[in-house]
Amino acid sequence: MKISVVGTGYVGLVTGVALSHIGHDVTCIDIDEDKVQKMCQGISPIYEPGLEELMIHNIEEGRLHFTTKHQEGFAKADAIYIAVGTPEKEDGSANLSFIEQVVKDIATHVKNDIVVVTKSTVPVGTNDYIKSLLVNGLPKTINIEVVSNPEFLREGSSVHDTFHGDRIVIGAESEAASNLIEDINKPFGIPIYKTDIKSAEMIKYASNAFLATKISFVNEIANICEKLGANIESVSQGMGMDKRIGSMFLQAGIGYGGSCFPKDTKALTQIASNIHHDFKLLKAVIEVNNKQQDLLVEKAKTRFGSLEGKKIAVLGLAFKPNTDDMREAASIIVSQHLIEEGAEVTAYDPIAIDNAKRILPGAVTFADTLKQAIQNTDAVFILTDWSEFKELDMDVYKQHMNNAVIFDGRNCYELEDMKKYGVEYHSVGRKTIYVEETQPILK
């Protein structure tokens, strides 16, 4: 089929590339001319493993196209996918201005019957709103249907998730429109779940809010484990063996970030508030997560007494590994608080350095390599569990730091290894390893 995708961020670009890879003729539309020119050459504007290879392959096969012209992109399309951002407003609600602009563009340029598919995460009722705008903006001779088709992709794994997802959700009021989107997605070979539009919209928010809840819950358990002398990794593993609970999203750390969980949890509390429902549980989830991001700084203040003049390396700036996305990354809050405490901060990330330079405080110094970042430092903060950090020889810390003191917000290392190497190690929900514990007691 002929498909148009408006927006080439994580969701739009991955969706468009994947749909072309399963055989559809896809045109991705973006208003940024430089970005479009690079994409036409197979250069991805985002870091996502495996994406550029698929882009190049499908461009060469003649199934994937990019343009800034809506009229060209919409011409004779069977379906138009809306995949633009819905950023968070100050009150936590979703900003629909980009959605509304796409609707205006569709109303201006579409000349044939069309099914509009909303991939963007939008509040419940938004698809009805989109349809009302289109009905009022398009000629009466054009039949318009709107379908909710939320995405469930993890940044850093979105290409894999697209082809190996758990389900594809289709929310529609028209059976014909629902069947069309089902036919488009059948080649993925993923279970398809059909429902009404509002339920599909809620499935997206409810799913992300539930996963965020698991993260905040296990982080609270981790904080209790530290005080009681239990090990959160043992606790999480024992919990996860229960099929009713499952092992996913039970890894303790310094909280969630990124473009989805923070925005969607706040949006859902706002949606609830709009219908006079106080979503107390989700408010607590958000509060716990905000507090958790301060955990390492508080640990360091307890350890050193004062961070004034301390040289600290921050390793990992993106909100998670295998992405260059800095949205709601822990590094933003942590580096700011370290600077406020008087520390000298040097930051390093394998991929996200360029994006981080535009976002982190101006007082942060950036390093080109891990060894450069930790040279002559008093402490290291690990905020993203990149493989480069997890696989690092512990002797590197001992050789380059003033004293090997690590504050690990992602529990990258085994406690026994820290004992063996004689590294002072502060993690989340586990016993702190001090160098003295590895030394013989002299009498």
What's the token pair of residue 345? 């901060």
CA distance 161 to 391: 25
- Calculate what percentage of the chain has a pLDDT beyond 70: 98
Q: What's the whole-number mean pLDDT along residues 21-49?
A: 96
- Number of separate helices (H) and strands (E) present in the chain: 19, 14
- Residue 86 among known ligand-binding residues: yes
Residue 441 has pLDDT above 80, yes or no: no
- Residue 121 among known ligand-binding residues: yes
- Residue 249 among known ligand-binding residues: yes
Describe the strand order of the beta sheet including 144-148 as a list of residue ranges.
64-67, 25-29, 2-6, 79-82, 114-118, 144-148, 168-171, 192-195
- Residue 155 among known ligand-binding residues: yes
Q: What's the whole-number mean pLDDT along residues 54-62?
A: 98
Half-sphere exposure of 37 (CA within 13 A, CB side): 3
What are the strands, taking DSSP E only, across 196-281? none
Q: What's the whole-number mean pLDDT along residues 23-30?
A: 98
CB-based contacts of 335: which residues, under 8 Å, 6+ apart?
314, 345, 347, 360, 361, 364
Residue 440's pLDDT is what?
40
Residue 88's pLDDT is what?
85
- Residue 265 among known ligand-binding residues: no
Task: Respond yes or no: is residue 412 known to be catalytic.
Answer: no
Check residue 443 and report its DSSP letter.
-
- Contact predicate 347/365, CB 8 Å: yes
Q: What's the whole-number mean pLDDT along residues 28-56?
A: 96
- Residue 30 among known ligand-binding residues: yes
Half-sphere exposure of 426 (CA within 13 A, CB side): 21
Q: What is the pLDDT of residues 66-114, one digit of tens each?
A: 999 999 999 999 999 999 999 888 888 889 999 999 999 999 999 999 9
Q: What's the whole-number mean pLDDT along residues 13-26?
A: 98
Confidence of residue 45 (pLDDT cuts 50, 70, 90): very high
CA distance 7 to 19: 14
Q: What is the pLDDT of residues 151-208, one digit of tens each?
A: 999 989 999 999 999 999 999 999 999 999 999 999 999 999 999 999 999 999 999 9
**Rounded mean pLDDT of the chain?**
95
CB-based contacts of 223: which residues, under 8 Å, 6+ apart?
295, 429
- Residue 13 among known ligand-binding residues: no
- Contact predicate 378/341, CB 8 Å: no
Q: How big is the CA angle at 440 (ends 438 and 443), to the nearest 5 degrees?
A: 150
Confidence of residue 437 (pLDDT cuts 50, 70, 90): very low
- Residue 89 among known ligand-binding residues: no
Look up residue 134 and give its amino acid.
Answer: L
Confidence of residue 292 (pLDDT cuts 50, 70, 90): very high
Q: How big is the CA angle at 173 (ends 167 and 179), to the nearest 5 degrees?
A: 55
Residue 150's pLDDT is what?
96
CA distance 118 to 170: 10
- Residue 137 among known ligand-binding residues: no
What's the token pair of residue 433? 């390893």
Residue 442 has pLDDT above 90, yes or no: no
What are the strands, taking DSSP E only, across 130-201? 144-148, 168-171, 192-195
Based on C-alpha coordinates, what's the Rg of the chain? Answer: 24
- Residue 204 among known ligand-binding residues: yes
Q: What is the pLDDT of residues 397-429, one digit of tens each?
A: 999 999 999 999 999 999 999 999 999 999 999
Predicted model pTM:
0.92
What's the token pair of residue 358? 């535009």
What's the token pair of residue 428? 């989340």
Of 31-35, 152-156, 203-207, 303-307, the least confident: 152-156
The dihedral formed by the CA atoms of 408, 325, 288 and 382, expressed in degrees to the nearest 10:
10
Residue 273 has pLDDT above 60, yes or no: yes
Residue 63 CB coordination number (10 Å): 19
- Residue 358 among known ligand-binding residues: no
Residue 438's pLDDT is what?
42
Catalytic residue among 28, 225, 260, 412: 260
Strand partners, 25: 2
Confidence of residue 439 (pLDDT cuts 50, 70, 90): very low
Q: Which helix (H) or strand (E) holds 276?
A: none
Residue 443's pLDDT is what?
34
- Residue 252 among known ligand-binding residues: yes
CA distance 324 to 48: 8
- Residue 369 among known ligand-binding residues: no
What's the token pair of residue 96? 């629909």
CA distance 275 to 266: 15
Residue 76 CB coordination number (10 Å): 10
Residue 206 CB coordination number (10 Å): 13
- Contact predicate 106/115, CB 8 Å: no
Burial 124-140 (b: 16+ CB within 10 A, else e): bebbebbbebbeeebee
Residue 80's pLDDT is what?
98
Residue 297 has pLDDT above 90, yes or no: yes
